Structure formats: structure tokens, C-alpha cells
Amino acid sequence: MMTSTTPVKAEARNLSFFYNGGNNAVKNVSMPLYENKITALIGPSGCGKSTFLRCFNRMHDLYPGNKYEGQIIMHPDDTNILEKNVDPIEVRMRISMVFQKPNPFPKSIYENVAYGLRVRGEKNRRIVDDKVEEALKGAALWNEVKDRLQDLAFNLSGGQQQRLCIARALATDPEIMLFDEPTSALDPIATANIEELMSELRNKLTILVVTHNMQQAARVSDYTAYMYLGELIEHGETDRIFTRPTRKETEDYITGKFG
Amino acid sequence: MMNKQQTKNLNEVRAMIQRHKLNDYIFSIIGLLCLMVGLITLLTLFIDLILQGYPKLLSLSFYTDFPSRRASSAGLLSALVGSSLVMLVTFLSAVPMGVMAAIYLEEYAPKNWFSDLIEINVSNLAAVPSIIYGLLALGLFVYILDLGQSIVTAGLTLGLLILPVVIVATRESIRSIPIAIREAAYAVGATKWQVVYDHVIKYSFGGILTGVIIGMARAIGETAPIITIGALTFIAFLPPSPVTTTAPFLNFEWLSSGFTVLPIQMFSWLSRPSEAFHVNAAAAGVIIILVTLIMNGFAIRMRYKMRKNIKW
């Protein structure tokens, strides 16, 4: 089977997450992210899929009182990125994220993409220029914006803004990229562009994508995980999950009987 | 039959809409009246001041002369210079302190009962009567720190007075930055300081500036705290110039100089029995109102300009 030979880039081990106030949004989830593959998280609203995703770049650390239990091990260095002595900033330097709604900074297109490099203290103009161009090409946006890099990012269309956000996340050569419902604010054409882009990005990095859209999971992902009420119900190759799910709950969800 | 029924209902609906619309009409008239009472009163006052003070307002010597025992040759010069220098000290003391305090409260302070307590009290400070600040300043700046009845004392007093305004305005401006933008910055690996420096300060600049200018506009008309610390009412000299022609080109003697400010000058003229001085007082009043209006207009313009590129 493909599963046994594909290297694992990161894995959640008995991961539980508690919001400030005690709400247990993720319950004892263990799941691998295979290297250079796209793993999709599906499930009804409020099932904890976004919460689970945001554990991977320690986004929950920004708000007080949140608590992780269990581990997320990143390979090949076997670092548990949830450990207290691992700085969340270090984690975010390795794992980047694309959000639900395009959220460019109110800066120029160039500065948006360059920001990750600026944060890392990169001052060499030529290196930054090259990286920005490379990232914009990687995000399939270069041809549309190369003549107006100094324009304000807000002047781009929604789909372009989201690709700009992908370029921003790409510019720092992350090992893993997280997508939190990246197309939910976009029209079908922009959505198709983003999906195509994700398929290409797979060659460079590992992707975890949360989607509320099952067709999208079926179209783009290699592996699919179905979550319900904070628990991982089923995880496996996308083809199998959508054709022969082993769990009744998964089948009910993907056939539309539920959710 | 059916058709008739419907027609009847429609007429009822129309009558009901008319009745309800009457309420709109009545309210808009009452609202307009309320608005006019305030506006017309203030406008009348302003026009009255102009009519009284116009002979002085139009004469150049009013702005270049020192106060005098004779109303005809009394001018605003020392008050104009005094107000400007006091405002400079106010600006330089209140803005950095207020902005940094607000950033700390918003971005760094842990959220607990203590920060809640501070938050409530900062808002309360903005409502403390200004004469209380005057008493505080008299005790602290004049007696304990021995700064004298000087420009620096007045500037710091007014700085304290507008500090809460600056803090509140800055915090509101910071809070209007969407969470999504902060998260975007954190997600690429920015530290808290990088988020503050590269984003928070830059995007809230317009709001901070607006708060600062509105605070300054309030401060420039303040009389009570300045009287409390003992500003003089008759100043026939100018403080030493802050800028000199010889190195190091800056001079700080002006800070400890005696001074007067516009509202005090106005008050002093107003308290004279001679009718002629009342013309001067009216003219000074117009100048204070104009300065305040100009500052507020500038604040609105800056806010508009700053927010043009920031859409959220």
C-alpha cells in the first residue's frame, strides 16, 4: 500500500485541545501528515477541524488560557512542536498558514510577500527581490502583478488576494502549509485556481487543508480525515474514504445523510 | 368577490403605512429642533464674538503687541507664543507616554482583574475635572519638583490632562485592527514587537493622531488648571527663543520662563471694568475658537487620509 512507503512529515499523537474555559474542542486525535501529500480535514461546522489545524502553528498560543495535551511530532527532527520549550515563533517559521478570508496587510503587493523575510531579518535587497518573485510565481500570481508590485494589495480581486496570501506563506520556504477553508470566500473560478495551485505546491511541501466542501476534498486531497465532535472518526486515502468508508458515520456524512 | 376582498385589504395596508409614516415625520421635526437649539445657540455666540471683536481681529498690531494698560494698544503676542510653547510641551509629554501606555495595555498586559481595574480608571481619569489636575500639578510640579510657575509646568499639567484621552483614542484605534491581520503577521513568524511595530502602530496612526489633536484642542482652551498653577496674566516679554542661531541651536531656558496663554489673557481682559477691553476679550475668544476648529478640521482630514488605504 501507498501508506506504508510514504514518509511521514508530521503526526499528531493523542492530541487534545481545550479552549480557555474548558471546552474540549479536539479529543485524543492521532493522525499522520504524509510528506508531499495533501491531507484534507472534513466534517460539519464546529467539529474541531479548524481548531485541530491551528494547533499545528500554535495559533492558540496567541490567546490566554488555551491548553494542548498530547504531541505533534515533526519529522525528520522528531521535535514535539507543542512542547513548552519550543518557541511558537520557531514553529511558525517552519509551518505557514493561509486563512479562510484573504487577509493581506494594507501594504504593497511586494511588501506583503516580503514580510516573512523581513521578520527573519533579511536585508539583502536582491535576495528579497528574488524570493518575492519566486513566491509570486509559485502562487501563480506573478504574471498578473509583476508590473504593479508597489500597488496596494487591497486593489487585487478576492482570488488574487488569496493567492497573494499563499505567496506570503510560501516566501519563507515552509515545510508544511496549513489551509483553513481557503476558498470559502471565493467564487468558483478563483476556487479552481487555488485548488490547482495546491496540487502543484504539493511537490514542494506538505499540505493540511480544512474544507467544508466535500467535493473539494475529493478533488484535491490524497488523504482525507473525517472529524466529528472533536474526534477523528476516520482517516485514510481519499479514494478509499469516498468510495469505501469503513465507518458508518463517515458514510452518512459523505453521502449527505447527515451534516 | 375575491378581487374585492383584496382591494379592501390593500387600502387598509396603505392607510396603516400612512399612519406609521406620520411617526417618521413627527420624529424628524423634533430631532431637527433639538439639533438647531444647540447649533444656533453656539453659532449666535460665535457670530456675536466676531461682531464685538472685529475691530481688533482685523488689526495686525493685535497679534504683535504685548498686553497693555490701554485697551487700544493691548495685544495677544505673549499669549499666542505662550500657548504655542505650552502646547509643544503638552504634545511631547502626552503623546509618547499615552501611545506607549495604550500599546502596553492592549498588546502586552495580561488580561486579568488588575488590567480591568486600570482600564476603568483610565476612562474615569478622562472625566476628572481639570481643576483637580491643576491642584495636582501645583503640588507635584510647582512645590515638590520645584519647576516653578513656568511653561514646563503648564505643559506637563495639560499633558497629564489629555493623557487619558490619548490612551483611550489609541486603544480604540488599535482595537479596530482586525484579528485576521494580526494573525496573518503572527503566522509568518513575527514576534509581538514586530507585530506592534510593523502593523499595529502603522495602521492605528490615523486614529492616534485624531485622538491627540482632539486632546490638544481641549487643552488649548483649558483655563482652570493653568490658573491653579499660577500663570501670570500680564506678561510683557517673550520667553527665550527655543531655537538659537549659534550651536547647539536649541535652548531650553524657555521651559522655565513665566508665561500666559490665550484663555487666561481672555479672562484677564474680560475681568476689567473698562468696556474697551471687552472688545479684546471677544477677539481673543474668536482666536481660541478658530484654533480649536482648525485643529479639529485637521484631525478629520488626517483621519480621512490615513484610512483611505486601510479598508476594514
- Based on the domain organization, do B167 and B199 belong to the same domain? yes
Residue B47 lies in a domain: yes
At B169, is the secondary structure helix, strand, or coil?
A: helix
How many residue pairs bridge chain A and chain B with CB atoms within 8 Å of each other?
Answer: 64
A96 and B185: CB-CB below 8 Å? no
Quote the pLDDT of residue A35: 94
Q: What is the pLDDT of residue B302?
A: 80
- Residues B148-177, mean pLDDT to the nearest whole number: 88
The answer to whether the beta carbons of residues B103 and B112 sit under 8 Å apart is no
Q: Give the tens place of pLDDT for each residue, B70-119.
A: 767 777 888 888 888 888 889 999 999 999 999 999 888 888 888 888 88
Share of chain A above pLDDT 70, in %: 98
For residues A199 and A116, the answer to whether their CB atoms sit within 8 Å is no
From the CB of residue B116, how many other CB atoms can be counted at a distance below 10 Å?
10
The more confident residue out of B3 and A75 is A75
Q: Is residue B54 located within the same domain as residue B67?
A: no
Q: Any chain B CB within 8 A of the CB of A189? A: no
Average pLDDT for chain B: 84
Which long-range CB contacts under 8 A does A65-68 form with residues at least 24 apart?
A65/A19, A65/A20, A65/A21, A66/A17, A66/A18, A66/A19, A66/A20, A67/A17, A67/A18, A68/A15, A68/A16, A68/A17, A68/A18
Cα dihedral across residues B182, B187, B190, B191: positive or negative:
positive
- Res. B304 pLDDT band, cuts 50 70 90: confident
Using CA atoms, how far apart are residues B87 and B220, in angstroms rounded to an integer? Answer: 7
Mean pLDDT within A8-34 = 93
Q: By CB neighbour count within 10 A (0-12 exposed, 13-18 middle, 19+ buried), where does B96 fall?
A: exposed
Q: What is the distance between the alpha carbons of residues B121 and B127, in angstroms, rounded to a whole number? A: 10
pLDDT in tens, A103-155: 999 999 999 999 999 999 888 999 999 999 999 998 889 999 999 999 999 99
Substitution target in B173, B188, B198, B200 with the highest count of A β-carbons within 10 Å is B188
pLDDT per residue over A51-63, tens digit each? 999 999 999 999 9
Of the ranges A129-133, B181-185, B307-311, which one carries the lowest mean pLDDT score?
Answer: B307-311
In Å, how far are A62, A179, B255 from B187, measured between CA atoms?
10, 12, 47
Contact A59 B187 (CB under 8 A): yes
Q: Are B111 and A115 a contacting pair at CB < 8 A?
A: no
Question: Hey, are the CB atoms on A96 and B198 less than 8 Å from each other?
Answer: no
A chain contacts of residue B207, beta-carbon cutoff 8 Å:
none
Instruction: Name the grid cell of B191.
Output: 514576534
The reply to whether residue A120 touches residue B189, judged by beta carbons under 8 angstroms, is: yes
List the single range of A21-25, B56-60, B230-234 with lowest mean pLDDT.
B230-234
Q: How many domains does chain B have?
A: 2
CB–CB contact A115 B187 (8 Å): no
* pLDDT above 50: residue A1: no
Q: Check residue B249 and give its pLDDT.
A: 65
What residues make up the domain containing B88? Answer: 61-307
Band of residue B154 on the pLDDT scale cut at 50, 70, 90: confident
Evaluate the CA torsion angle B180, B184, B186, B191 in order and state its sign: negative
Q: Are residues B96 and B165 both part of a single domain?
A: yes
Contact at CB, A103 and B181, closer than 8 angstroms: yes
Tell me how far apart the alpha carbons of residues B269 and B75 are, in angstroms, rounded to a whole number.
Answer: 11
B292 in the same domain as B267 = yes
Of A7-16, A209-218, B140-149, B182-191, minimum mean pLDDT range: B140-149
Q: Is the model's pLDDT at B244 over the cut of 70?
A: no
Q: Is the pLDDT of residue B164 over 70?
A: yes
Phi, psi of A12, rounded to the nearest 5 degrees: -85, 135
Residue of A nearest to B180 (CA): A103
Nearest to B213 by CA among B98, B307, B100: B98
Q: Are residues B87 and B218 in the same domain?
A: yes
A residues 195-234 closer than 8 Å to B (CB) = none
Check whether domain A2-254 has CATH 3.20.20.140, yes or no: no
DSSP state of B112: S
Q: Is the pLDDT of residue B1 over 70?
A: no
| Domain residue ranges of chain A, discontinuous segments joined by + | 2-254
Q: What is the pLDDT of residue B187?
A: 94
State the average pLDDT for chain A.
91
The better pLDDT of the pair B180, A257 is held by B180
pLDDT band at B246 (very low <50, low <70, confident <90, very high): low
Cα separation values, B112 from A38, A64, A136, A139, B104, Å: 41, 10, 43, 42, 14
Higher pLDDT, B5 or A12: A12
Same domain, B33 and B71: no
Rounded to two decimals, the ipTM of the complex is 0.92
Residue B220 lies in a domain: yes
Share of chain B above pLDDT 70, in %: 90
CA distance A255 to B2: 47
Spatial separation of the C-alpha atoms in residues B262 and B280, rounded to whole Å: 11
Cβ proximity of A109 and A149 under 8 Å: yes
Nearest CA in chain A to B310: A106
Distance of alpha carbon A216 from alpha carbon A206, whole angstroms: 17
Q: Is residue B312 part of a domain?
A: no
For chain A, percent of residues with pLDDT exceeding 90: 78
How far apart CA B184 and CA B195 sit, in angstroms, is 10
Q: Mean of the pLDDT values across residues A163-178?
A: 93
Q: Nearest CA to B269 among B257, B253, B259, B282?
A: B282
Contact list, B196 vs chain A (CB under 8 Å): none
CATH of the domain at B287: 1.10.3720.10
Yes or no, beta carbons of B189 and A119 under 8 Å apart: yes
Question: Between A219 and B143, whose confidence is greater?
Answer: A219
Q: Give the three-state DSSP class for B125.
A: helix
